[in-house]
Amino acid sequence: MTKSELERLDREEFRKLWESAVEGDPLDRLIFVCAGHLGMRASEIAHLKKDWIDFQGETVEVPKEDEEFHANGSSRSISFKHLRERVTIELRRYFDYNEIVGVNRATIFRRVKNMAQRAELTRQVNPQALRATCAFQLAEAGVNAQGLRKFMGWKDLNTAQKYIEQVGVDADKQIKRNKDKLW
């Protein structure tokens, strides 16, 4: 098993962690959707600001630099247009009352650990596990390596390819799903 296979959550663990986030406060839910659905890093979530979010265009713009944040080359536009409705709901719920997340990276890690404990998950869970779960789900949905690399903010295409290989994407299913595009 690869490191990412060990880190990512299965469907049931993901569901339980979401239920635990719902039992928590708006910041717990925000952390869950940002890491688990948007694939954001803990440092990105910790520095997330309302002005990074375009609710009309349904994107989060992770900047190259901000007054307190340096993306180290992972700046990107993350679309949430076609993701679960809870992403939009939780982003709005949090940022209707707050301008910034404004916590440190360690707080993000601690909150995810606390959610996992409330969910009674039997293994260590951290924000990276949610991020790995997001990448796996996108690969499972048929997102190609280049799209996955761009969405997740990875520099190396090989990282995306590892998630696609884990899924074991069936060529026949992809052809069937995209047969209208064949000429």
Q: What is the pLDDT of residue 174?
A: 62
Please check whether residue 80 is in contact with residue 91, taking contact to mean a CB–CB distance below 8 angstroms: yes
171-179 long-range contacts (CB < 8 A, ≥24 apart) are: 174/142, 177/142
Residue among 154, 138, 129, 157 at smallest CA distance from 6: 129
Side-chain half-sphere of 137: how many Cα atoms within 13 Å?
A: 20
Residue 29 is predicted with a pLDDT of: 98
Position 144 scores a pLDDT of: 86
Q: What pLDDT is stored for residue 178 in this prediction?
A: 63
The answer to whether 149 and 159 are in contact (CB under 8 A) is yes
Residue stretches of the chain with pLDDT short of 50: 1
According to the CATH classification, is domain 3-167 in 1.10.443.10? yes
CB 36 within 8 A of CB 87: no
Domain boundaries, the chain: 3-167
Task: Give the pLDDT of residue 1.
Answer: 46
Full-model pTM: 0.86
User: Can you give the pLDDT at residue 141?
Assistant: 84
Confidence (pLDDT) at 6: 58
